[in-house]
Chains A and B, each alone.
Chain A
Amino acid sequence: MTTLYLRDRWFEDLPAGEFHVFGSHTFSELEIVEFAETFDPRPQSTNPEAARHNHRQGLIASPWFVTAMWMRKMVDYMEVYAQGVNDGRRNGAGVAITDLQWLEPVRPGHTLTYTYEIIDKPDRVIREKWGLIRSRNEAFNQYGNKVMQFEIDILAERRPT
């Protein structure tokens, strides 16, 4: 019997129900401001002083910073533990997301832990060689509160026949 390693799997080898913890990130004030200045310049994320008096009563991370960090954690994790083989099975692009919600603000010093669970494998073949992996993704802060969730469909290469 062949052992299937996490690093060497095709679409067919990825089971619904598989769960991974991608890792954690602590958000600093500086990186919250830098992200916002470049990509999403809202005052609640660019100006710590002014943010003290606004609707959030303090600096918060841009929602897309919270979500972009999920992507980084996934890439790093997959590189080390999962697909990772440089033969085309990695780098299956994301196609669409649904139900993305930011549930609580992320503030300087907060540490988020990102999780991933395969929830479905829609029965579709895309451009002859790709299948779709649907996952539910969540981020929890240091209090254990869920601060973000979404589902995403990502391409995974089918085993050649």
Chain B
Amino acid sequence: MPLTSELITLDKAAIVAFASQFDPQPYHLDKEAAEQSIFGGLCASGWHIAALATRLVSETLIKNGLPFVELLSVGHLKWTRPTFVDEQISVRITLTDTQDESPIADTYVQALNVDVCNGDGDVVATMSATAAIAQDSATGETA
């Protein structure tokens, strides 16, 4: 059974705030320019989606008793559909392999597949990744 996260809404202010700092291209900043672009409308940077998806993955794993420590690698990440202003995203996580040997002490490596979906359930991105998970919950959350 995949684990499912909460939804996050991406409003225009959030999309433009991320893009002006990290991905200042017209289709992420300006409504009119975006309508003329390959996307056909103002949409979030793919890196914004990736960061928020990871946030949702970490929150969802922790909530399900897997003390997420750090994202280690992404085998593939494919953006399949733009995320437009005021659309929502959530993640569906399928856990795959585990590996005892981890670059971070007291953790193991969990492989996972992630579908990032919009509010209608359409997949907007897919990602395969590995994350370090604390072997006991004491080392996961130190803050």
Bound form: Cα–Cα A98–B79 in Å: 12
Chain B residue, CB-CB nearest to A67: B47
Instruction: Assess the A91–B52 pair: CB atoms within 8 A.
Output: no
* Central interface residue in A51, A67, A69, by most chain B CB within 10 Å: A67
Secondary structure call for the B interface: mixed
Bound form: Cα–Cα A60–B43 in Å: 29
- What number of B residues sit within 8 Å (CB to CB) of A? 40
Instruction: Assess the B143–A47 pair: CB atoms within 8 A.
Output: yes
Other-chain contact of B77, A39, A71, A97 (Cβ < 8 Å): A97
Q: Classify chain A: how many residues form its interface, as a range.
A: 35 or more
Query: In the complex, which residues 14-41 of chain B have their Cβ closer than 8 Å to any Cβ of chain A?
Result: 18, 21-27, 37-39
Given contacts A55-B105, A75-B24, A95-B78, are A155 and B50 in contact (CB under 8 A)?
A: no
Other-chain contact of A55, B22, B39, B69, B75 (Cβ < 8 Å): B69
B106 — which chain A residues lie within 8 A by C-beta? 55
Q: Mark A66-97, 1 if CB is under 8 A from B, else 0.
A: 01110110010000000000000011111111
Instruction: Assess the A72–B72 pair: CB atoms within 8 A.
Output: no
Bound form: Cα–Cα A55–B136 in Å: 13
Contact of A159 with B by CB under 8 A: no
Instruction: Assess the A91–B143 pair: CB atoms within 8 A.
Output: no
Contact of A43 with B by CB under 8 A: yes
B38 — which chain A residues lie within 8 A by C-beta? 91-93, 127, 130, 155
B37 — which chain A residues lie within 8 A by C-beta? 91
Contact of B141 with A by CB under 8 A: yes
For the complex formed, measure the closest distance between the CB of A149 and the CB atoms of chain B, giving whole angstroms: 10
Other-chain contact of B79, A56, A91, A95, A101 (Cβ < 8 Å): A95
Secondary structure call for the A interface: mixed
B1 — which chain A residues lie within 8 A by C-beta? none
Given contacts A55-B139, A75-B23, are A102 and B104 in contact (CB under 8 A)?
A: no
Contact of B58 with A by CB under 8 A: yes
Chain A residue, CB-CB nearest to B20: A72
B70 — which chain A residues lie within 8 A by C-beta? 42, 44, 55, 63
Contact of A99 with B by CB under 8 A: yes
Query: In the complex, which residues 125-151 of chain A have their Cβ closer than 8 Å to any Cβ of chain B?
Result: 127, 130, 150
Q: Mark A114-131, 1 if CB is under 8 A from B, else 0.
A: 000000000000010010
Contact of B54 with A by CB under 8 A: yes
Interchain residue pairs A-B with the least CB separation, the first 6: A43-B143, A64-B51, A100-B74, A39-B51, A68-B22, A96-B78
Given contacts A75-B23, A92-B38, 17 further A-B contacts (CB under 8 A): A40-B55, A40-B58, A44-B69, A46-B143, A47-B143, A64-B71, A67-B47, A67-B50, A72-B24, A90-B25, A91-B25, A91-B37, A91-B38, A93-B79, A95-B79, A97-B77, A101-B73
